[in-house]
Amino acid sequence: MSKTLHTKPAPKALDSTSADTASESEPQTYEFNVVQNPLQNALNMKYPPERMEALAHTIVSKSFPFDAADGAPKRANPFLLARKSNTYPSIKTPAEEHGRAYEAAHDTGNFVSSIMVTVAKTPVAFFYNLANGFHNAPSFLLNDHTVRRRDNITGFGSGVKVAGKKEFTLGLYDGFTGLVTHPYNGARRHGLGGFLTGIGQGAGGLIFKTSAAAIGLPGYTLKGVEKQFQKRHDRSLKAKLLAIRMRQSLLEFEGTTKEEKEEIIKRWRELDVVLPS
């Protein structure tokens, strides 16, 4: 904050004479129009940027197809429907626009928010890694080949499923039944030595598997919540990238011949894909 408040403004590159000359010949703003060719202008009239962004967000959100009434997506992010201008505003730093105090407060707010995110992720990482440790311990420490493979956690639903059904229910089941199955299988394969080894595997597996079942409930559930928030952030980014790719493909499509267009549409219809009008 102290560095921000005491930073001196950058010296002006032009003196008063050159500034007066520049004011008479050039405008004092950085606004300029984006140069577009006629094909780009025609494409913007047929497929406005806000429609392309809404379509991309709809596809990423897996809410296809279109509403037959008006051809608009059933679900659209209202933040992506804002009109975009072809002019860019004057380039100003936060300090020039609001003052040094505002810039310092803004940087402090960003720092505090990053600290809060880190603090919120700490219990998630602690319980998740501890549950994974107990889950994998019988396999690495006791050579227990009956440890079940944990499913991937991709969101809140999968996190709850892994925590409840996969880890808690089956973990308790494997832990208690292992007291009998491990000595029995060890004695059948290796005699008395295998029987004693099986007793150790069963006792150790009961401790590790029941601990993983208890800690996995908060650990895998919280991990699912974290993945769900990450998925929502990635969805907006994917929608923006998809909108850029769609505009690029439309530009290439508009530049093809009539026969090539018919062939492209024919191939899409063979895939039974709903084409936007």
Instruction: List the chain domain ranges.
Output: 40-84+108-270
* 65 or 195, greater pLDDT: 195
- Distance, in Å, from the CA atom of 14 to the CA atom of 142, rounded to the nearest integer, reads 76
Q: 33 - beta bridge partners?
A: 87
Instruction: Tell me the three state secondary structure of residue 274.
Output: coil
Residue 170: enclosing H or E segment and its boundaries? Answer: helix 170-254
**Helices and strands (H, E) in the chain, number of each type:** 9, 0
- Measured between alpha carbons, how far is 65 from 276 in angstroms, rounded to an integer? 9
For CA atoms 90, 91, 96, 100, the dihedral sign is positive
pLDDT score, position 183: 93
For residue 239, what pLDDT band results from cuts at 50, 70 and 90?
confident
237: left (phi over 0), alpha (psi -120 to 50) or beta: alpha
Mean pLDDT, residues 44-73: 63
Whether 229 and 236 have beta carbons less than 8 Å apart is answered as no
Minimum mean pLDDT among 75-79, 155-159, 169-173: which range? 75-79
Whole-number pLDDT of residue 93: 52
Q: Please enumerate in sequence order all residues whose Cβ is within 8 A of that of 5, keeping only pairs 6 or more positions apart, or say none.
A: 100, 101, 104
The answer to whether the beta carbons of residues 29 and 91 sit under 8 Å apart is: no
| Residue 78 predicted with pLDDT over 80 | no
**Does 29 score more than 50 pLDDT?**
no
Displacement of CA 135 from its chain's centroid (Å): 27
